[in-house]
């Protein structure tokens, strides 16, 4: 950063730059790859050995919600004032879990926040540097901002600087994220400045597409423009305890697919629930149950701790699959 630039005061808040959902950009040497973390976005404002404030994506001060991150202030004492961008995550089963994080969110009472910090500790994963000393870094290219961030050596009991990969193929990074059951990757253009509050193609989030066969055990009737047909399919997988509810699929249907499913499921209606466990009471009250004979293929974003598919989407019928053999595969 040039010494000739006029000093710039630390801003009160920098709205975060956001990524667009899409496919992997080509491996042209123009991109860095970061893991996508299943947490909540936050920017940290530090000066004089203190965490001045921790601000959410919407501009809300969440400093009191995560008291363990206050130690980041003393850890940066002696260095310049900083504004960092990152993600607050909680780990469940060895990987980031939004479900694990939820009890921590929106808590402001100091005693309650401190108790939760002991029970469900969080980690602040820092991936960008927005201000350093008396200078904004927003106009610097991403590659330079990452260099400056890495030079800070931010690593502590409740904060880390995860790597950005530039010397491997994006598909390999996505495969690694998929294998670790992470949310996916974010591709960031090396030459791009930081654009506060904007969503653009310079940051691209790419999610893995998990696939799974599932057994249809019921229907939630459609409403609005889907009235009179299927609203969503209630699906499950086989376990030692029987067919266990795994979620509901309400997207991915074409009109021909809905007509086909209506025809197939119409003759399979039954009076009782075929699932051995797990169907939420609100869904069960309005459900139309079916014999568990139809197998569908579903794309989804991963499993919840309760064994439900996240964001499932219909991909087609599997007439070649025996419902008795459909088990959880990922």
**Phi, psi (deg, nearest 5) at residue 201:** -80, -5
Q: Which residues pair with 262 in a beta bridge?
A: none
Catalytic residue among 36, 188, 205, 207: 36
Sign, CA torsion 18/88/24/254: negative
CA geometry: angle 270, 312, 250, nearest 5 deg: 55
Rounded CA separation 231/227 (Å): 8
Rounded CA separation 42/130 (Å): 12
Token pair recorded at residue 51? 């965490």
Does the annotation mark 36 as catalytic?
Answer: yes
Token pair recorded at residue 91? 């780990």
CA geometry: angle 34, 35, 40, nearest 5 deg: 110
Helix and strand numbers, DSSP H then E, in the chain: 7, 16
Catalytic residues: 36
């Amino acid at each position: 950063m040039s010494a000739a630039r006029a000093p710039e005061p630390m801003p009160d808040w920098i709205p975060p730059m956001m990524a667009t959902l899409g496919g992997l950009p080509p491996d042209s040497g123009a991109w860095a790859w970061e893991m996508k973390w299943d947490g909540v976005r936050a920017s940290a404002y530090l000066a004089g050995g203190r965490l001045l404030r921790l601000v959410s994506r919407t501009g809300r001060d969440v400093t009191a919600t995560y008291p363990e991150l206050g130690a980041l202030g003393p850890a940066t004492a002696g260095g310049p004032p900083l504004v960092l961008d990152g993600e607050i995550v909680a780990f469940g089963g060895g990987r980031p879990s939004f479900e694990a994080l939820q009890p921590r969110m929106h808590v402001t009472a100091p005693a309650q926040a401190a108790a939760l910090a002991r029970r469900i500790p969080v980690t602040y994963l820092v991936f960008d540097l927005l201000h350093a000393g008396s200078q904004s870094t927003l106009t610097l290219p991403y590659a330079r901002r990452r260099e400056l961030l890495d030079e800070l050596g931010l690593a502590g009991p409740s904060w880390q600087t995860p790597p950005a990969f530039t010397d491997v193929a994006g598909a390999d990074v996505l495969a690694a994220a998929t294998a670790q059951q992470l949310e996916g990757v974010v591709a960031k253009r090396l030459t791009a400045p930081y654009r506060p509050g904007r969503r653009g193609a310079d940051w691209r989030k790419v999610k893995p597409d998990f696939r799974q066969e599932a057994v249809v055990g019921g229907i939630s009737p459609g409403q609005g423009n889907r009235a009179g047909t299927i609203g969503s399919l209630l699906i499950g997988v086989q376990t030692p305890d029987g067919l266990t509810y795994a979620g509901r699929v309400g997207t991915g249907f074409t009109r021909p697919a809905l007509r086909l499913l209506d025809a197939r499921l119409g003759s399979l209606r039954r009076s009782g629930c075929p699932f051995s466990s797990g169907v939420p009471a609100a869904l069960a009250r309005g459900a139309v149950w079916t014999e568990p004979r139809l197998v569908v293929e579903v794309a989804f974003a991963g499993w919840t701790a309760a064994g439900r598919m996240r964001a499932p989407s219909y991909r087609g019928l599997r007439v070649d699959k025996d419902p008795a053999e459909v088990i959880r595969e990922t």
